[in-house]
Structure 1
Amino acid sequence: MAACGVALALIDLAVQRLPDVLTLPACGGALALLTAAALAGEPGSLGRAAAAAAVLTAVFLLMACAGAMGLGDVKLAPAIGALLGWNSWTVLFRGAAAGFIVGAVSEVARMAAGRARRSHVSFGPYMAIGALAVSVTS
């Protein structure tokens, strides 16, 4: 997720899009790697990871329908949800919340500096940063 997250963050910042060519394989790759981890006996829950992917995607889809988020963010949500949910529901909640917190702090700082975009916030980088920060500390 770290390598893919960096690429997605740079693309999202540059063109305000998260391309399907990266988001969709990230989802499949996350679930494939977590399946392999489960088969290898690693601690975590594949069922919870799948459920977490579905829950986070549903929440982000509702936000996209309300106009608060783009569909690229929705397509990235299953990968992030699965990776966070593998550990626990608490990690999922903290990782998702961390993305919103990092995004809010960053955008407030950008507004204070007069550099904020008025119509759109590239949320993909914040999703990746929040998920990675919580994953590393959990």
Structure 2
Amino acid sequence: MPEAAAGTAFAAIAVGGASGWFAAVQYWVAACGVALALIDLAVQRLPDVLTLPACGGTLVLLTAAALASEPGSLGRAAAGAAVLTAVFLPMVFAGAMGFGDAKFAPAIGALLGWSSWTVLFWGAAAGFVVGAVSEVVRMAAGRARRTHVSFGPYMVIGALAVSVTAS
């Protein structure tokens, strides 16, 4: 299962056509995101041992993209990381989201923010839409096993889908 998920994500990124350091960022977020998504599905947690390197690696690779003068904005990526985290944190304290989701938000926000504010908005929104549709389908099929929804997989799917199609 992990290999198939990673292979699918990597194939989608390759088809998307990004190159250079920004493609490396997409692959990095996909690699970290697949591991985080599978862990989240299994134990409803996004562990620090993966969320923190995901964020750090994303920012390092985007800095390399900026130094290589690739299209995008490092400042907007940093702001996107801060904005998405600021959006997720109140949901954590309201009990609507786990703290791991908020710790993974800077990586997702930076990836999406690099391209544009529009990509950031749609990439973040896509996670919620994919999650809602998936959970409604699971409920209709009688497969909803608990009230807690693992949001990490939907964050990754939504962000990568929008990032890949926007690049």
TM-score, length-scaled by structure 2: 0.81
Structure 1: segments with no counterpart, 5+ residues: none
Of 69, 84, 87, which aligns to 1:56? 84
Equivalent residue for 1:134?
162
Structure 1 moving runs of 4+ over 3 Å: none
Of all paired residues, the percent bearing the same amino acid is 87
Query: Aligned pair 1:111/2:116, yes or no?
Result: no
The one-letter code matched in structure 1 to 2:104 is: L
Q: Distance in 1 between matches of 2:56 and 2:145?
A: 32
Query: Aligned pair 1:67/2:95, yes or no?
Result: yes
Query: Aligned pair 1:84/2:112, yes or no?
Result: yes
Equivalent residue for 2:59?
31
The one-letter code matched in structure 2 to 1:79 is: A
Q: How many residues align?
A: 138
Equivalent residue for 1:101?
129
Helix, strand or coil at the partner of 1:69: coil
Q: Distance in 2 between matches of 1:109 and 1:59?
A: 26
Q: 1:119, CA displacement in angstroms?
A: 2.5
Q: 1:115, CA displacement in angstroms?
A: 1.2
Q: 1:117, CA displacement in angstroms?
A: 3.2
Q: Distance in 2 between matches of 1:77 and 1:85?
A: 11
Q: Distance in 2 between matches of 1:2 and 1:120?
A: 24
Query: Aligned pair 1:7/2:19, yes or no?
Result: no
Q: CA RMSD in A?
A: 0.6
The one-letter code matched in structure 2 to 1:112 is: A
The one-letter code matched in structure 2 to 1:2 is: A
